[in-house]
């Protein structure tokens, strides 16, 4: 029997996750929630705003949910949505594309999604509600916190770490055994070659902190 699941969000990231869920063929997708109706998304219907989730969990006691809201800047939106929905006692499964590679002894926290072409190498640890986006590479023995977004084509080197609520932009890299703290945005194409302890936005090769006006 297929597990039932609702999609939280109706944007582009939700579309990608719906596509992955269809390929897995393990879930009955009940619909998606969003502030505004976007019509059918890959054939999946709109349920309403997040307020409708109370009715959903009442009708489906063991229903799953996936937070399908992406981020391109440092934000607590996804975490706040989790805190709200968690009170309703939904289940947050780990969603892994059949086209991803997850090797031996990897740990992935609840609610995380691993998309097409991603590679997670042996003994890597990934926290809760991470997004491991298309073709991202998480190397061996690395450690990442909660609510991380590894954007498309980004690389976390072997033994490296990245803290909670940080974002590694498209094609950005953290080289082996370097550490990035919490609430950091490493811009697209940037390369971290030294430890970063202060939260903020970093760009360049090597990555340097910049001011956002």
Q: What CATH number has the domain bearing residue 33?
A: 3.40.50.20
**Quick one: 72 and 99 in the same domain?**
no
Tally the domains of the chain: 2
- Single residue among 58, 86, 114 that ends a domain in this structure: 86
Mean pLDDT, the chain, whole residue set: 95
More confident position, 2 or 160: 160
Half-sphere exposure in the Cβ direction for 72 (13 Å, CA): 6
Q: What CATH number has the domain bearing residue 184?
A: 2.160.10.10
In a domain? residue 213: no
- Single residue among 86, 105, 122 that ends a domain in this structure: 86
- Single residue among 67, 86, 105 that ends a domain in this structure: 86
Largest CA distance in the chain: 52
Please give the angle made by the CA atoms of 137, 106 and 140, to the nearest 5 degrees.
50
User: Each residue of 93-109: pLDDT tens digit?
Assistant: 999 999 999 999 999 99
Q: What is the mean pLDDT of residues 132-140?
A: 98
Q: Model's pTM, two decimal places?
A: 0.95
**Quick one: 109 and 140 in the same domain?**
yes
- Residue 45, domain extent: 3-86
In a domain? residue 42: yes
In a domain? residue 37: yes
Report CA-CA distances (Å) from 58 to 47, 53, 62, 175.
Answer: 14, 8, 9, 47
**Quick one: 67 and 128 in the same domain?**
no
Phi, psi of 71 (to 5 degrees): -150, 145
In a domain? residue 116: yes
User: Each residue of 12-70: pLDDT tens digit?
Assistant: 999 999 999 999 999 999 999 999 999 999 999 999 999 999 999 999 989 999 999 98
Report pLDDT for 97: 98
- With 90 as the cut, is the pLDDT of residue 72 above it? no
**Quick one: 112 and 193 in the same domain?**
yes
Report pLDDT for 211: 78
Report pLDDT for 1: 62
**Quick one: 110 and 191 in the same domain?**
yes
**Quick one: 99 and 151 in the same domain?**
yes
Q: What is the mean pLDDT of residues 196-204?
A: 96
């Amino acid at each position: 029997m297929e597990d039932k699941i609702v999609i939280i969000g109706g944007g582009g990231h939700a579309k990608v996750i719906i596509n992955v869920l269809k390929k897995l063929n393990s879930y009955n997708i009940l619909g998606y929630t969003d502030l505004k109706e976007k019509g059918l998304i890959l054939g999946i219907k709109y349920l309403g705003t997040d307020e409708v989730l109370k009715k959903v969990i009442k009708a489906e006691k063991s229903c799953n949910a996936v937070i399908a809201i992406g981020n391109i800047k440092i934000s607590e939106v996804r975490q706040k949505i989790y805190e709200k929905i968690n009170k309703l006692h939904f289940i947050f499964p780990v969603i892994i594309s059949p086209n991803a590679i997850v090797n031996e002894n990897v740990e992935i926290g609840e609610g995380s999604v691993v998309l097409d072409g991603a590679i997670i190498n042996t003994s890597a640890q990934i926290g809760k509600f991470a997004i491991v986006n298309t073709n991202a590479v998480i190397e061996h023995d690395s450690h990442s916190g909660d609510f991380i977004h590894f954007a498309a084509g980004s690389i976390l080197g072997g033994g490296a770490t990245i803290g909670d609520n940080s974002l590694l932009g498209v094609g950005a890299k953290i080289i082996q055994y370097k550490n990035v703290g919490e609430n950091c945005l490493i811009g697209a194409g940037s390369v971290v070659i030294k430890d970063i302890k202060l939260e903020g936005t970093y760009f360049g090769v090597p990555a340097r902190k910049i001011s956002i006006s």
